[in-house]
A and B are shown apart, each in its own frame.
Chain A
Amino acid sequence: MVEPPAASEWGDLLSEFRARGGVADNVEQAGVRGLRACEPGKPFLLRVPANLRFPLGDIEFVADAIRIRAGAGAGDAERQFFERYQDLISWGGGGRLESAALVSLYDALPPELRTSLAGVFGMRELVEDGNAESIRRQFLRNRMIYWNNKQIFAPIVELARRGENGIPISSDQHGSLVLEGRTDGEIFLTYGPHDSLGIFRRHGVAVARPHAFSLPFTTKIGSMGLSIGRNVTARRERDGVAMPLLSSQSGDHYLSHLMVGNAKFPRLSRGIFEALMREAGIADSAQLFDRVMHFNRGRFLQLLGALEPLRGDMVARLRSMVLFQLEALSHCVGTCEL
């Protein structure tokens, strides 16, 4: 059982955070994991400057402690702050136990189900690594933030739990990462662009989402190949619509990701695909899109079948996630011209 840090320790760390350029107004820790407004209803502000943002690649685990790698760009003062923060508040303050509890739920799943999760559903790191490594990776995956196409660790902000109506991260004119708003209770961060499967992979919880993205999918169209990835942060704006990135090489095409259902914009999924296939010069995109949908629904229904005879906390979570994903997948109706 981990207790939240004493008020004095939290206060000391906030002072250090501020001394290194961070801003934390009207914010306090809520339990072991969470943030809340000290004065509910009044604006809160968290600002994390560049020197307090740590690329995930700069972080390492040494003898079960979390540190900044030697040779990384962080200054000495920031390193010390990071290590103290991790030991008292984050990894040592409950993060390791939180991740260990989740990984142990995966460990309890039958081997054949873990194989399926590792393969089709991209959870290899969660179900196949050694236990200690899985816990560390899960901790980082759970707490990291995408910032300017990079995975970073942002102290204090990372403590906020995610919520369906969470607040998105923004930036200010100085390039600082900003989380601000007004709340009557806990401060929640947004889940970002992820679908139910994506959230499950990062946070281990089943959350309903209005949209779904395709599982990785590869097919041949004549002599051409088409591959669909699941990098949902790789996108570009077109007429106000977030489009996946399309790249082509030697006649093969690659889509960074593909939306396959959206309750708010049910005609968009097929519309995006048709527009991109026109660009790529691929005919009969309607049937190809049907095949992508067939593949996705089939895999989730297969998983649902595999979960059927099993019981337990993780099984129930997985089953809910599958139903949420199938629900979002069903919101693919008609098409639109982009």
Chain B
Amino acid sequence: MEQGTPSQPWHWNEMLEEFCALGGAAKNIVPGSGRSGAGLFANKPLDEVLLRVPRNLLLRLDDIEFIDGQSRVRETARISESERRFFERYQAAFSWGAEGRAKTVAFITALEALPAEIRELLIADFAMGYLLEGDQTRRIQIQFLASRAVRWQDGRVIAPVLELANFGVDGLRCERGLHLQIQGYAHEEVTIRHVAEDACATFSRIGAAYRQPVAFSFPITVRIEDREIVIGRNTGEGVMRGRDRVPAMTVDDHRITLSHLMLGHGKNPRLPRGTFRTLLREVGLSNADGAFDRIVRFNALKLIGLLKALEPHEGPLIAALRAMARYQLEAMNDCVGSRDLAPAALSTGEL
């Protein structure tokens, strides 16, 4: 078991001063404790909050390592000495060294305590092997980073201070421009939402069940005519078609690869089937409905299989898994009818 890192005293306001001196901004934000444990709160609930993390403080996951139980910035990371010092001290005082590590340990040990058949199912059908197999210390570190990371450009980063905000379905949305920031009215607790995350992904990230308005497919390969359709679960990849975000698609002679596939959408129930139909029609496959139905069935049976396996068991994490599976099925159910996507933008060569 990973040894704890004693949290180092550092006053919140002093930390924020240094954060701002390095280019960050924090308005109306204080630390506190809520339903999900330690988090961020609006000091004046009726006023707007702002939290801006400058790009020089966004640490790529690859640039973080754990040495002697402490979160460190790798020697190879392209970061200045002052930012390195800030990040490591911040991690020890407010993040990994505070409640972050303990929360992650609790989640991993609860997963380990699940009945063997449930663990096997989560590994085989829900790609949770990284949480359940291998060295425990390493799993805790990976999970800690995964639970706190946010997308930034083509990768994932830890954004100091902002990563302390708990997840909330109605939380503030991360704005990505020159900096990463959240702003708006939080009323009490400042939470952030992760766009393009379904109930299953949220559970893997934070170990809790939340209703999400969307559901994405688990990885699967299906055939239509002589073509192989490979569906991934990388929801971070995608392209805009009009107002709709659709999966990135690569095509070769016999294989069509979709980065991910939406199966249900509470606000746009005609979008999931419409996306699949349109994308496949554009590569010459007109009869996509049967394949879409097969993908939906594959996903539904996985989730129903999990619910059946959970049936004889009890416990907080069992209840969370049950709720997660149900929320995922609920989101999948929001798939009614179909509509076309906006035409794809022409490439330069086609102009």
| Interface set of A (CB-CB < 8 Å, partner B) | 266-267, 286-287, 290-291, 294, 297-298, 301, 304-305, 308, 316, 319-320, 323, 326-327, 330-335
Chief secondary structure at chain B's binding surface: helix
B60 at the interface (CB under 8 A from A): no
Shortest C-beta distance, A310 to chain B (Å), equals: 12
Question: A266-B293, A330-B297 known; 20 other A-B pairs, CB under 8 Å?
Answer: A286-B337, A286-B338, A287-B337, A287-B338, A290-B337, A294-B334, A294-B335, A297-B333, A298-B333, A308-B319, A308-B326, A323-B307, A326-B329, A330-B304, A331-B297, A332-B293, A333-B290, A333-B297, A334-B290, A334-B293
Query: Contacts of B297 on A, CB cut-off 8 Å?
Result: 266, 330-333
Tell whether B133 is near chain A: CB-to-CB under 8 Å: no
Judge whether B300 is part of the interface by a CB distance below 8 angstroms. Answer: yes
Interface residue tally on B, bucketed by range: 20 to 34
Pick from B296, B311, B323, B333: contact of A294, CB below 8 A.
B333
Closest chain B CB from A301 CB (angstroms): 5
Residue ID in chain A nearest B312 by CB atoms: A316
Q: Are A326 and B311 in contact (CB under 8 A)?
A: no
B227 → chain A closest CB, angstroms: 17
The answer on a CB contact under 8 Å between B300 and A326 is: yes
Name B180-235 residues within 8 Å CB distance of A: none
Q: Which of B293, B301, B330 has the most CB of A within 10 A?
A: B293
Residues of B contacting A294 with CB < 8 Å? 269, 333-336
Which residues on the B side are within 8 Å of A287 (C-beta)? Answer: 336-338
Question: Counting CB contacts under 8 A, is B47 at the interface?
Answer: no
Question: Once bound together, how far apart are the Cα atoms of A298 and B297, in whole Å?
Answer: 16
Instruction: List chain A residues, Cβ under 8 A from B319.
Output: 308
Known: A286-B337, A304-B326, A308-B322. A333 touches B304 (CB 8 A): no
Cβ-defined partner of A323 (8 Å) among B304, B333, B337: B304
Instruction: Find chain B residues with CB under 8 A from A332 CB.
Output: 293, 297
A320 to B309, CA, bound (A): 11
**Chain B, range 298-344, C-beta contacts under 8 Å to A:** 300-301, 304, 307-308, 311, 319, 322-323, 326, 329-330, 333-338
Residues of B within 8 A of A290 (CB): 335-337
Asked if B300 and A330 sit within 8 Å, CB to CB, the answer is yes
Could you say which residues of chain A place their CB within 8 Å of the CB of B335?
A: 290, 294
User: CA A65 – CA B290 in complex, angstroms?
Assistant: 56
Measured CA separation A297–B269 after assembly (Å)? 14
Q: Which residues on the B side are within 8 Å of A286 (C-beta)?
A: 337-338
A71–B175 CA distance with the chains assembled, in angstroms: 81
CB pair A305–B326 under 8 Å, yes or no, is yes
Task: Determine whether B289 belongs to the interface, using a CB cutoff of 8 Å to chain A.
Answer: yes
Q: Which residues of B contact A301 (CB under 8 A)?
A: 326, 329-330, 333
Q: What 0/1 readout, one digit per residue, does chain B (277-307) give for beta carbons within 8 Å of chain A?
A: 0000000000001100110110011001001
Q: Do A291 and B304 form a contact, CB below 8 Å, given A297-B329, A316-B311?
A: no
C-alpha gap A242/B322 in the complex (Å): 36
Bound Cα distance from A89 to B330, whole angstroms: 47
Contacts of B334 in A (CB 8 A): 294
| Residues in A whose Cβ lies below 8 Å from that of B304 | 323, 326-327, 330
A316 to B304, CA, bound (A): 15
Cα(A138)–Cα(B296), bound, Å? 37
A286 to B336, CA, bound (A): 9
Tell me the minimal C-beta distance from A332 to chain B in angstroms.
Answer: 7
State whether A333 touches B329 (Cβ < 8 A): no
When distances are taken between beta carbons in the complex, the residues of chain B under 8 Å from A320 are 311
- Could you say which of B290, B301, B323, B333 contacts A308, with CB atoms under 8 Å apart? B323
Smallest beta-carbon distance B92→chain A, Å: 40
| Residue pair A333, B326 in contact (C-beta under 8 Å) | no
B301-A327 in contact (CB<8A): yes
Q: How far is the CB of B165 from chain A (nearest CB, A)?
A: 28
